[in-house]
Amino acid sequence: MIVAVEGIDCAGKGEVCPRLATALNAILYKTPPEHMRGEQDRINATATDAEHYSYFTRVVQTASKELTVLAATCNIVVDRYWMTTVVYHRVMGIPAELADMGNIVLPDFTVYLTVSPEAQAKRMNGRGMSPGDKRMDGRQHLIRKVYEEVLAKQSKVICVDTSNITPEQVIDLILAGAPSIHSG
């Protein structure tokens, strides 16, 4: 089973994903894959939007290959996958589509984490701005809108607003929202 956790910056993916993996007796898989992370900061800081999309499309394709192998033996929680790539690049003005990723493995469930603009700003101030945050600065309202458009076309999605709840409460809501994702 593959569960993808998607969502806007500072929605709590970094805290929720490892806890969800533990709750599901799954492994945590982060994108970009480890061997591609060294390139990420440079891409976020200096690449054109088209180069950025090309890199993250390769990230998704590589992740898909690795997830296919892993899913044969274990459950997986993916910290960002194809949806984030499509959403963020549409916001950059690229007509990104799932089909651009090629024949990738799709998650069994998608968890979408969101957070209020106020809580997001507070969290972002607390952690500082990454190169990726800086690239998207001022476009958070549009990111929310595009996520909603993409999510409307998906099935098996669990949406959780993390603004005023703990990561543990988020996990409880995810597990209550989709009992079939419980580990067996």
CA distance between the termini of the chain: 11
Strand partners, 161: 114
Let me know: does 25 contact 75? Beta carbons within 8 Å: yes
- Does residue 65 sit in helix, strand or coil? helix
CA 166 – CA 149 distance, rounded (Å): 27
Q: What is the pLDDT along the chain (184 residues), one digit of tens a residue?
A: 999 999 988 788 989 999 999 999 999 999 999 999 889 888 888 889 999 999 999 999 999 999 999 999 999 999 999 999 999 999 999 999 999 999 999 999 999 999 888 887 787 777 766 666 666 677 788 888 999 999 999 888 999 999 999 999 999 999 987 655 544 4
Residue with tokens 């995810």: 174
- All structural domains of the chain: 2-181 (3.40.50.300)
Indicate yes or no: pTM above 0.75. Answer: yes
- Does residue 80 sit in helix, strand or coil? coil
